[in-house]
Every structure is written in C-alpha cells, then in structure tokens.
Structure 1
C-alpha cells in the first residue's frame, strides 16, 4: 500500500464524507473509505498519510469492539503525529483517545437552530484565528449540529472554536490533529438523507431545515471547502 493515501473512517452509511469527497476528487487526491459498520477494518498505520473520521450514532464511551478498536487506531495516528480531522463523533473519539473526556451536552444540538430559534454558531478563539486550519474563515459562522455529547479537554489540548451551549466546538491535539463538532461537510443530498433516516432530525420541521440550508448554502459550502482545503494542505496534499 502507498504511504501517501488519505483514509476516511465511516461509522454509518448515512454519514458519508459529503463535501470532503467532492474536494478530494476535484483535487485528484487518492483516498480510501473504510466502512466500519460493514465490518471493514482500518489499514496498517504505515499506510496512512492522513486520517479523517466521520460522525455517527455511537458514543466514544461505548464499550463495543468497534469503538474500542477505533479508539486504539486513532491513538496510533496521534502517537505517530499524523494529520487527523475528526468530525462530530470523530472529534469526540480524538479527544478520548488523547486522554480527554466525553460527556453529555447540557442539551442536544440538532439542526441549524437551538430551542430558541437562534442559529448555532462557532466563534473562533484567539488561538483559532491564528491556526492554519481556519485561515480564511470568519470569526463567527453558523454550523449544523447533530450530537448529544460534548468533550472535556486536557490542559495540553487547544480550543480553537467555541459555541454558546456546548463550548468545545473546534479542538486541536498536538500539531496536526483537529476535531470539529459540527458538520461543515454537509451537502444538500446528505441533509435530505439525514432528514429521512436520523431519529433526532425526524422530530424537527424538515421544510424549515431545508429552507435554512438553501439560504445558507452558498457561504456554508464555501467555508466547508475552505476548511477542508486547509486541512489537506496541512496534510501535505497539493
């Protein structure tokens, strides 16, 4: 296997790479999706140039063989100082593998808006505004959420972005490992699938969610592309 490959761990079929896949294919970057739900297993660590871990309904605290194996593999990636991007569950797994905690949110964050109808937003910290992953992003931007747990950080971890309800929104471990709690990889097709398959989203007004995405889509997608391109550059891909 080539050592110059990016691997994507997919935890459940409905939570695919979305916008990331579009960006990778546009740039001609080789990648491989490992579908953990189907029993596929991560590659040898020597085959990995960078790793992306997607979201899913699991908890990073689950004692299941799947989650325990995933935590062990992510731990190897961190130990080897390989570029890492975790999305939603992928953030929580990274923090837990690095010695932090995963705990319940004060309230679930689901969709684009909180219980008061206000858009969920990420606010970059001073450290975040200087980090190359977030170069080109504004200090505040809306985010789509689908999670009921959050993280508690160790002193060695860096908080790059915060939220009003769940504070720890963008986290950095070491020099090249990142996690983002929200879903900047979201596409229209992903949202439509999630609205029909995800139990939390099925409780919400699907037309309102689709209207929010339609209104935000242009800048939302541009910011997602920006962050993903920054990560790929940090990971050594042109």
Structure 2
C-alpha cells in the first residue's frame, strides 16, 4: 500500500495553495507517496492517524507569534503527529514550529536572509550543502544536540528521531515563487525594501533544475530513513 503524506500550507486560496509544495510534490510522487494539501488557516485539523508523513511548509506569519489565530491549533496538531512517531519535515516556518514543539525556540534572526546561500552540513547525504533559497526574518534555535546544518545566519537544519526541521526552502520552483508573488499582490503586502523580487525570480528560474535535484535528494533521503513499508 502506498504511503500517504499530508502537506500543511498557509495560503488558503484554492489554485495557489496546491502550488506551494513545489518540488516536494514530485519528490514524493516518485516514491509512490500520495499527498494531500491542507491549510489549517481555514480548515479543521484532520485525523493524524490517516497519514504516514507530515510536511509543514512556510508562512508569512511568525511561528513565535501566539496571537496568530490558527497557530495554537497547528501547534497542537503537529505535536500530536510527532508524538505518534509520524515522520515530519518542516520547511522554514514549519522548521521553526517543530523547534518549538521539541523544546527549541524561535526568535528574530540576527542576520535575515533573502536569496540563495550554501549551508555547512554534517550530513550531506540527507541535507546537501545547496545552494538553497533563504527567505526569513525569524530563525529557530534547535533542541539541544540536534543541529545538523548552519551558516552565518545561524542554524539551518536539525534532526531528531523522525523529525527534520529546515530553515531554507528546498521546494522552490519558478511556479512556487510566482504563487508567493501572487499572494503578496492579493494581500497588498510587499517584502522588505532590501529584497529584490525580480532578481530572486530570475535566480529561482536559473537554478530550478538544480533545485529539483537537490530537493529530490533531501526528500528521498528523509523518507528512506524514516518511512517503513
């Protein structure tokens, strides 16, 4: 029987939210892992017993801001999934959320990152050095003894049990970045003044083939060491 993955996204708009997982979708499909995209921003949490893998994507909200209306619900759901021993991958906001669940913390990044950077990794088979797209003003402090990768900004990956938390965005494709831009326009929101959106768009497009390969390697290695059957 094929494994089932739940992907939590934070853009509730139909037609956009399905594009958010980007390169993660084909990486799962290649391994016969069916996936469903859900947003707890507007939906009730599903039964965690129905899934063999959880992926928590990024968000424009802060994982440290408990005034976000849906954050408590998502924290409780992710905690329940992790406690069941379900393999869980967190991307940017998702990695920060997992850090909170597992005893780490989230705060403002000493060095916000917007663009492609490499990481110093302790396990290049699981977390390649990149370069990876970074897009964050917050950062996590991982649970003690779990850090797996880092760069000048701070921790970039941690792993414990069947959990892998990432600060960067392995999922990025040209279409996923376009979906971000569409959401920003719909919300009337603009990135920080120092963020060159058009330069990032061009960099994402130029690096898309390499990014797909890196994401496939990361997702494949994570599934190989955490999924049974």
What does residue range 191-210 of structure 1 map to in structure 2 within 5 Å?
Answer: 191-198=177-184, 199-200=190-191, 204-210=195-201
C-alpha distance in 2 between matches for 1:195 and 1:40 = 23
Q: How does 1:173-212 map to 2 (within 5 A)?
A: 173=160, 175-198=161-184, 199-200=190-191, 204-212=195-203
Query: What is the match of residue 109 of structure 1?
Result: 113
Q: 2:147 aligns with which of 156, 159, 166?
A: 159
- Does 2:126 align with 1:133? yes
Per the alignment, residue 10 of structure 2 pairs with: 11
1:4: Cα distance to partner?
A: 4.3
Query: SS state of the match for residue 126, structure 2?
Result: helix
Report if aligned partners of 1:101, 1:153 keep a CA contact under 8 Å in 2: yes
Deviations 1:118-147 (A, max 9, x none): xx221103xx34xx633xx3xx32111111
Q: Distance in 1 between matches of 2:28 and 2:48?
A: 21
* Structure 1, unpaired ranges of 5+: 113-119
**Pairwise mapping of residues 29-178 of structure 1 onto structure 2 (< 5 A)?**
29-37=33-41, 39-63=42-66, 64-112=68-116, 120-125=117-122, 128-129=123-124, 133-134=126-127, 137=128, 140-155=129-144, 157-165=145-153, 167-173=154-160, 175-178=161-164
What number of residue pairs does the alignment pair up? Answer: 218
Q: In 2 relative to 1, CA 52–59 (structure 1 residues): closer, same or farther, beyond 3 Å? A: same
Q: Tell me how far 1:234 sits from its aligned partner.
A: 2.9
- Choose 65-74 or 12-21, whichever is displaced more: 12-21
Stretches of structure 2 that go unaligned for 5 or more consecutive residues are 185-189
From the superposition, tell whether residues 61 and 3 of structure 1 become closer, same or farther in structure 2 (CA, over 3 Å).
Answer: farther
Cα-Cα RMSD: 2.4
State the shift of 1:163 in Å: 1.2
- Is the contact made by 1:3 and 1:47 (CA closer than 8 Å) also made in structure 2? no
Cα separation, partners in 2 of 1:217 and 1:29, compared to 1, 3 Å: same
TM-score (norm 1): 0.81
Relative to 1, partners in 2 of residues 1:79 and 1:186: Cα closer, same or farther, differing over 3 Å? Answer: same
Distance 1:78 1:122 in 2: 26
Give SS of 2:211's match: helix
Partners of 1:237 and 1:189 in 2: CA distance? 32
